[in-house]
Homo-oligomer: A and B are copies of this chain.
């Protein structure tokens, strides 16, 4: 109980460290105080803003400028028509962000010989583009969330999305960026690992187990605050099942790709 109280206290007091002289810097506070949104108002966003967000994705940097991404867009009506339900959390627009090695392979056939490396770089670049879109939305006063699991929206629903979005071999859906307006005031940040656990000087330093456990205690308490009627371990078990299915599908696909070479 004391442990849970400590976790709770640390969760509600946790804040990114922003030096005093940067506290009035609008860009810095926008980036550091960005939070995922789980309650959109349903109000639409305009095409001009939506296109500007996509433009930020298109102009993101990428390995050797190969732009190994594809963005599949939906209005709320289009999402409903395609998926028979609303955009999660009542979002106004959605972008399925895919890592795309298919496009370049049409020209640069040599990349087929290294599916694993090509795909790893493509996934990394897709993450870069995703964050550039996310921050751009934030700058426009549009809130967002990147979904990995909430109802057929990410890598864990690989086969479903591949079929529904007609993805060719080499295009892997990773996440859905949901965008919209919200009246939600900025919520507390999900528990971050301590700085020493992720920032290392000159070489890798394994995170001591007690630090990891302390963080995981905060994760459990944080999860309860977000979903009072569920708990983190059953969520993880659910995740794990979906991960195993996706693992089988992806490994199968990579094998096939290697054989086709």
Binding site for B on A (CB under 8 A): 16-19, 22, 25-28, 30-32, 34, 36, 48, 51-52, 54-61, 63-65, 67, 69-74, 78, 82, 98-100, 102-103, 106-108, 110-111, 113-121, 123-132, 134-136, 139-140, 146, 148-149, 154-156, 164-168, 171-172, 174-175, 189-193, 195, 197-204, 206-207, 209, 212-213, 216, 219, 222, 235-236, 239-240, 243-244, 246-247, 250-251, 254
Contact = CB atoms under 8 A, between A and B. Distances in A.
B69 A198 contact: yes
B207 A103 contact: yes
A191 B65 contact: yes
A167 B203 CA distance: 8
A192 B116 contact: no
Contacts of A61: 34, 36, 134, 146
Given A113-B244, A124-B124, A247-B114, A200 B26 contact: no
A140 B19 CA distance: 12
A117 B243 contact: yes
A222 B190 CA distance: 43
A193 B59 CA distance: 9
Contacts of A190: 65
A57 B242 CA distance: 28
Nearest to A71: B199
Number of copies: 2
A195 B64 contact: no
A126 B244 CA distance: 22
Contact of A192 (B67, B127, B213): B67
A202 B113 contact: no
A254 to B, nearest CB: 8
Q: Which of A48, A111, A120, A189 has the most CB of B within 10 A?
A: A120
B54 A28 contact: no
Nearest to A95: B199
B204 A64 contact: no
Contacts of A82: 202-203
